[in-house]
Amino acid sequence: MGKELLVKGMITGAVVGGLLTLFDRDTRKYVGTKCIQSKDSIRYYAQHPADFVHQVNSTYQKCSHLLMKGLNQAENALQQLEETTGNKDNQ
């Protein structure tokens, strides 16, 4: 019962908060523009699914490359830290 009430409260708060932000003219313009752009993108990718698959694959490859690069840098930093602290223990 408590979980359901929490989820309902969070959803209600998000909806009310979102509606309150639409009182600002600039926010309404921004939301309208983004909705139109989203609609156009959805329409394009619905007509060209191969482009969508290519875009998703390309984005995945970029994210994978960045993640591996970051992990390698973290591993190198950890090795350097271990070497530094290991040298102090031996002295």
Give yes or no for a contact between 38 and 32, defined as CB atoms under 8 angstroms apart.
Answer: no
pTM: 0.54
Distance from C-alpha of 37 to C-alpha of 40, rounded to nearest angstrom: 5
Helices (H), the chain: 2-21, 25-47, 49-90
25-78 tens-digit pLDDT:
999 999 999 999 999 999 999 999 999 999 999 999 999 999 999 999 999 999
